[in-house]
Amino acid sequence: MNAPEPAVLTQVMNATQRAMPHVMNTYGRLPFALSHGRGAWVWDTEGRKYLDGLGGIAVNTLGHAHPKLVPALQDQIGKLIHSSNYYQVPLQEELAAKLCELSGLSAAFFCHSGLEANEGALKIARKYGHDKGVARPEVIVYEKAFHGRSIATLSATGNAKVQKGFEPLVEGFVRVPLNDLAAIDAVARSNPNGVAVFLETIQGEGGVNPSRSDYLQGLRQRCDEHGWLLMLDEVQCGIGRTGKWFAFQWAGVQPDVMPLAKGLGSGVPIGAIVVGLKAVNVLGPGNHGTTFGGNPLAMRAGVETLRIMEEDGLLAHAATVGQVLHDALTAGLAGLPGVKEIRGAGLMIGIELDRPCGVILGRAAEAGLLISVTADSVIRLVPPLILSADEALQMAAILCPIVAAFLAEASSPA
């Protein structure tokens, strides 16, 4: 039998404390450090090689040391890394215009993380409500959602484990299950303070749970009927990960507010709130701001990421290689008791097991594959979008036997 997961986690955290005694112990890190990468591969400081199925948690869109991105960032570092938002930043307009072109929305505000983008979206919702005369605006949020770890985004998150110890939570949220329009209608009938619906188009940390297309279409209709904002968190599932620029485009809808981050800068910290006409004038001078957001280096990273994605056809590539990976996982795990579902879109895939499987993270690393486990029992794969079909097959070839062995051990007598 496997050692109990809490014991494994304690061993890993103790190893991290010994290696990094002056860094606050807030992560259950694996006991190795990465040194460098090329494409979809990374090496640790001991020379071991790993296939990157995590992509920095859906961040390294272009993989590692991309030959087009690196010189562009080197060029920008030699010119200007940071300036304050007291001044115009032309690269902000260039990136904002491109995001608006790709999304059909109207304007963007730049920050430096998904948390900050989501926090800003919640501020837009509250200000929108106050502008309409709603004294205590309320936002509809979701079970299993994850929007960040600030007090407001933590309150919007649907995970009691990450909220525990940080009470009292911020008020003003009404929680519903995903893909249940009847629950939305019930809130509309009973709650006159509703101002927005806020959800991840595909829940990431909650277990790679997609919103159905008909559900998103129904939400769009109801938001229009009730005068609510439709706010779609594309922090993890946006920027080509599903095979379209944004995951909501599969449903043929448009949000009023769209937080972005992660893959937009290919590893350089960046976040954005992209808004449509309904929300474009909600915030004015003095309502919101940031020190590091929109700095020239981050903006150049965003501009170059989108340019390279277009030049290299990475949207179609993500859809094609994602299907290769999905099919290989489906074949490799077929008939295994304990595999509940393989789901997702493009290169955002979750494998749900019928039991907690955190130990698989370390076993995969030992076999040369970086992954994550989220929602306790879901193996998450969000590799760089430059992953090749052959590398996708290698990923499945490494992972499937590990899952099979884990399920066999977990099912055997103690």
pLDDT digits (tens, 9 = 90+) for 171-224: 999 999 999 999 999 999 999 999 999 999 999 999 999 999 999 999 999 999
Q: Are 193 and 129 in contact (CB under 8 A)?
A: yes
Residue 193, Cα to own-chain centre: how many angstroms?
29
Sorted by sequence, the CB contacts under 8 Å of residue 84 that are 6+ apart come out as 291
- Which strand (E) or helix (H) includes residue 146? none
As a whole number, mean pLDDT of residues 374-386 equals: 98
- Candidates 351, 327, 350, 325; CA nearest to 339 is 351
As a whole number, mean pLDDT of residues 38-56 equals: 98
* Angle formed by the axes of helices 314-332 and 296-311, nearest 10°: 70
Given phi > 0 = left and psi -120 to 50 = alpha, else beta, which region is 363?
alpha
Q: Which long-range contacts (CB under 8 A, 24 or more apart) does 185-192 make?
A: 185/222, 187/140, 188/222, 188/226, 191/138
Q: What is the pLDDT of residue 94?
A: 98
Residues 276 and 364 in one domain: no
Q: Which two tokens stand for residue 86?
A: 């007291």
Q: What percent of the chain is modeled with pLDDT above 70?
A: 95
The chain-wide mean pLDDT, for the chain, equals: 95
Residues 278 and 355 in one domain: no
Q: Are 147 and 304 in contact (CB under 8 A)?
A: no
pLDDT digits (tens, 9 = 90+) for 2-37: 333 555 555 655 666 788 999 999 998 999 999 999
pLDDT digits (tens, 9 = 90+) for 240-290: 999 999 999 999 999 999 999 999 999 999 999 999 999 999 999 999 999
Q: What is the pLDDT of residue 7?
A: 55
Q: How far apart are CA 166 and CA 51, in angstroms?
A: 37
The last residue of one of the domains, among 279, 311, 343, is 311
φ, ψ (nearest 5 deg) of residue 227: 75, 25
Q: How far apart are CA 219 and CA 184, in angstroms?
A: 8
Q: What percent of the chain is modeled with pLDDT above 90?
A: 93
Which DSSP symbol is given to 24?
A: -
Alpha helices (H) in 251-388, listed in sequence order: 296-311, 314-332, 359-366
Q: Are 158 and 101 in contact (CB under 8 A)?
A: no
Query: Is 348 within the bounds of a domain?
Result: yes
Domain count, the chain: 2
Q: What is the pLDDT of residue 384?
A: 98
Domain that holds residue 171: 69-311
pLDDT at 336 over 90: yes
pLDDT digits (tens, 9 = 90+) for 292-326: 999 999 999 999 999 999 999 999 999 999 999 99
Q: What is the pLDDT of residue 319?
A: 98
Residues 224 and 149 in one domain: yes
Query: Is 11 within the bounds of a domain?
Result: no
- Candidates 27, 101, 48, 95; CA nearest to 268 is 95
Query: Is 9 within the bounds of a domain?
Result: no
Q: What is the pLDDT of residue 2?
A: 34
Residues 322 and 246 in one domain: no
Q: What is the pLDDT of residue 414?
A: 44
Residues 110 and 195 in one domain: yes
Residues 368 and 307 in one domain: no
pLDDT digits (tens, 9 = 90+) for 101-123: 999 999 999 999 999 999 999 99
Residues 244 and 111 in one domain: yes
Query: Could you tell me the pTM of the whole model?
Result: 0.94
Residue 53, Cα to own-chain centre: how many angstroms?
14
Q: Are 12 and 362 in contact (CB under 8 A)?
A: yes
DSSP assignment of 265-296 equals: GTTS--EEEEE-TTTTTTS-TTT---SSTT-H
Which residues in 204-287 belong to E strands, given as ranges? 209-210, 229-233, 257-260, 271-275
Residues 281 and 368 in one domain: no
HSE toward the beta carbon, residue 181, CA cutoff 13 A: 12
Q: What is the pLDDT of residue 19?
A: 86
The last residue of one of the domains, among 311, 343, 374, is 311
